[in-house]
Amino acid sequence: MRFVLSLVALSWLVAPAAALAQSKAKPVRVAILYFDYDGKDEELGHLRKGLTSMLISDLSDVDGIQLVERTDLEKVIGELKLQKQRFFDKKTTARIGKLLGAQVLVTGRYFEFRGKLLVNAKMVEVETGEVKGVRSARPTAEFIDLEQELAGRLSEALKGRVGKRTPAKRTRRRKAKPPKRLPARTAARYGRALEAIDRGNKKKAKKILSKVVKERPDFALAKRDLISLAR
């Protein structure tokens, strides 16, 4: 009887300790890299940075993850002198992930075929190399539907990954409301504006963003970037 009571007392001590350990679990650090473009349309090649920026915004409300900011990704790409490189091999991708301190990388490829944009994304575990793929395809005029669908599938995959650890709650970034309509070429112009920002050409970035916002007044993410440039 005394032995049983001792076990019960021990369980009372262990349970709070386990709960405390879970509450202090660190969020999973996730880096969304630029997707490779497998096409010849130079304009659509500019979509890379726009897509990454939009996915970072849309995944910012997933509990238990810490997203790497796009500016931090740019710093690492600059350190590795990869600014002009449009394709990252596995070795380079792993190196970028390590420098960013990421546990999970999101990367992929996209291309246009017969008026449709096809995106193949993959979620890579840095430590194990395990890969989980998701894909989406829509007409280029319906890019925002494609991006939202892709974000939803990545969100579910990340929730499954986080569920294994029950990470602590974190402060959420403010998610930008997606526009009702956004063609791929408009999103590509947004990507061009981000490229100008990364090069330090704020004047050009403002000019492009102003046109994008004028065309799509409900594109909250582009509007947010335009406002930040005016500060």
What is the tens place of the pLDDT at every residue in 130-152?
889 999 999 999 999 999 999 99
Provide the pLDDT for residue 52: 96
pLDDT reported for residue 12: 53
Q: In angstroms, rounded to a whole number, what is the distance separating the alpha carbons of residues 28 and 222?
A: 27
The share of the chain scoring above pLDDT 70, in percent, equals 82
**Phi and psi at residue 148, to the nearest 5°:** -65, -40
Read off the pLDDT of each residue in 183-189 and give the average, rounded to a whole number: 97
Helix (H) / strand (E) containing 133? strand 131-139
Two structure tokens written together for 231: 């500060």
The predicted pLDDT at position 81 comes to 77
Query: Quick check: helix, strand or coil at residue 120?
Result: strand
Is the per-residue pLDDT at 13 higher than 90? no
Structural contact between residues 188 and 50, judged by C-beta atoms closer than 8 angstroms: yes
- The H-assigned helical ranges of the chain are 2-23, 42-45, 47-58, 70-79, 90-100, 143-162, 184-198, 202-215, 220-230
Q: Is the pLDDT of residue 231 over 60?
A: yes
Could you tell me the domains of the chain? 26-174 (3.40.50.10610)
Judge residue 228's burial from the number of C-beta atoms within 10 Å of its C-beta, 0-12 exposed, 13-18 middle, 19 or more buried.
Answer: exposed
- Please give the average per-residue pLDDT across 176-203, as a whole number: 96
Q: Does 19 have pLDDT greater than 90?
A: no
